[in-house]
Amino acid sequence: MNSSTTPFVTVAVCTRDRPEQLKKLLASAAELKVPAGLSWELLVVDNGSGESVEATVARFQSQLPLRLVVEPEPGLSNARNRAVAAARGAYICWTDDDALLGRNWLSAYVSAFRRHPESAVFGGPILARLEEPSPRWVRASLDRSPLPSAFAHLEIDEERPIAGHREQSPWGANFAIRTAEQRQLAYDPQLGRSPRHARLGEECDLIVRLMDRGATGYWIPDAVVHHCIPLARQTRRQAWAYFTSVGETLQHCSPDAARRWSTAGLLVRISAYAALFGVASSLGRHRHATIFMSRAGIYTGMLRSRRSGRADGRIASGAKSKQEAFP
């Protein structure tokens, strides 16, 4: 472990009230295969957990080049922005507090940074690790349905440029950005998990904006993380919450495009897909039921966001808070 004050890589993780998951993540980090001579740091951003995070970090202080910083303003984007401000590395590798790092994760990214010095954005596979016994409807929905996205499951089979970034960009549990480019933009506080809203996609939004500015990137298949999905998340209630969050995010990010559906049209679609969900479920067609649930959930999220937006004027103006330079 190299503890130089000028690390080449900052590994950043934001956490809030999940000490057990964080402990498992740090245990996996302690098993990383670190390239010889690499100077790196592991930055933990506490976004409202308090002493539980301090105790967990202290437990691994002798095994990892750890630093703990605090972001008191709740919200994942705020925590990410704090990490960017505090990072000392030339590259920032991001993961989540409920992930487990593959042993070659760090070395795969470091090799990629050196192979592709022209690129600023990198992403790797996220493999959902489902706690067993996984419900039957979950197992039936893992193929050709939207459910894997609810678990942030993303398979990458070869090293290749990140192309068509508006269709697929790296996800929050496993991506890396060169710090110089990262500091050109800030994560949008109106996106990302927060006690104030349920929107997603703060990392995709930033990556799209970076690549719109000309940044390029690569998928790195050997930089693997495993995303732990407990049984408590393998419920239709949790899946519904995710899909409604997707709808809220779509409405917020693209209010003009979302206006193609009237409020009455959204209500019709919600009712129709809810009915189809009920029929498919009663027939044991779980994959189809999940597809119908996802569509009903997305439209419900759009409708809820539209109504709340009208209440505070956001949708009427079409405004979206984006910081185009890092503070």
Give residues with Cβ within 8 angstroms of 130, minimum separation 6: 138, 151, 229, 234
List the structure tokens of 60. Answer: 């691994």
Q: Is the pLDDT of residue 167 over 80?
A: no
Please state which of the ranges 82-96, 151-165, 176-190, 288-302 shows the lowest mean pLDDT.
151-165
User: Helix, strand, or coil here: 58?
Assistant: helix
Q: Is residue 291 part of a domain?
A: yes
Q: Is residue 149 part of a domain?
A: yes
- When pLDDT is averaged across residues 243-269 and rounded to a whole number, the result is 89
Q: What pLDDT does residue 306 have?
A: 87
Q: Which residue has the higher pLDDT, 3 or 46?
A: 46
* Domain span including residue 55: 9-233
List the structure tokens of 173. Answer: 């549990």
E strand or H helix at 272:
helix 263-282
Q: d(Cα 161, Cα 233) in Å, to the nearest integer?
A: 32
Q: d(Cα 161, Cα 288) in Å, to the nearest integer?
A: 33
Pair (248, 190) in one structural domain: no
Domain count, the chain: 2
Q: Is residue 1 part of a domain?
A: no
**Residue where one domain finishes, among candidates 233, 264, 281:** 233
**Alpha carbon 81 to chain centroid, angstroms:** 14
User: Helix, strand, or coil here: 220?
Assistant: coil
Question: Per-residue confidence at 165, pLDDT binned at 50, 70, 90?
Answer: low
Q: Is residue 325 part of a domain?
A: no
Q: Is the pLDDT of residue 28 over 50?
A: yes
For the chain, the distance separating the N- and C-terminal CA atoms, rounded to the nearest angstrom, is: 31
Question: Per-residue confidence at 320, pLDDT binned at 50, 70, 90?
Answer: very low
Pair (111, 27) in one structural domain: yes
Question: Per-residue confidence at 3, pLDDT binned at 50, 70, 90?
Answer: very low
